[in-house]
């Protein structure tokens, strides 16, 4: 199985961050044998995904970037979904469900049970 360039880059950044606090961008290119253009494109994608921070630094008199693995921690989200109204939709217990359809004798557009249910839940 071929490992994507993005996975390789992320793996190196993770390892270097845990050992050395990050990796200098040009060092990463030489470690992986890739060119600046190709690598920058992937790194910017990782930055947009919130997995990597790219901090400007000066290294050996040249401006470059320190790449640091720092996944953005998303806030916990609590969503309460009430399923009770759904459970009481009359169609779920209707004997005519398989014969019901638009244009037929049993028709959801004309059904009093369904209309009544919808009016009560609004």
The reply on whether position 57 binds ligand SF4 by CB under 6 A is no
Tokens at residue 71, please? Answer: 């996944």
Please report how close the Cβ of residue 11 comes to ligand SF4 at its closest, in angstroms: 54
| Whether 25 contacts 55, CB under 8 Å | no
Q: Does 94 bind ligand SF4 (CB under 6 A)?
A: yes
Contact predicate 110/96, CB 8 Å:
no
Stretch that binds ligand SF4, among 9-17, 28-36, 55-63, 93-101 (CB under 6 A): 93-101
Of 39, 42, 41, which Cα lies nearest the Cα of 31? Answer: 39
Can you tell me which of 57, 86, 97, 118 binds ligand SF4, judged by CB under 6 A?
97
Residue pair 23/14 in contact (Cβ under 8 Å)? The answer is no
Residues that bind ligand SF4 (CB under 6 A): 90-91, 94, 96-97, 100, 106, 108, 111, 113-114
């Amino acid at each position: 199985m071929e490992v994507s360039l993005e996975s390789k880059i992320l793996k190196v950044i993770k390892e270097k961050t845990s050992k050395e606090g990050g990796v200098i961008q040009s060092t990463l290119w030489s470690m992986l044998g890739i060119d600046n253009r190709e690598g920058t494109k992937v790194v910017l994608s990782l930055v947009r995904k919130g997995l990597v921070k790219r901090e400007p630094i000066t290294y050996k008199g040249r401006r470059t970037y320190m790449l640091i693995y720092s996944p953005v921690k998303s806030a916990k989200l609590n969503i309460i979904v009430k399923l009770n109204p759904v459970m009481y939709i009359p169609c779920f217990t209707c004997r005519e469900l398989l014969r019901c359809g638009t244009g037929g004798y049993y028709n959801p557009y004309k059904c009093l049970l369904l209309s009544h249910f919808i009016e009560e839940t609004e």
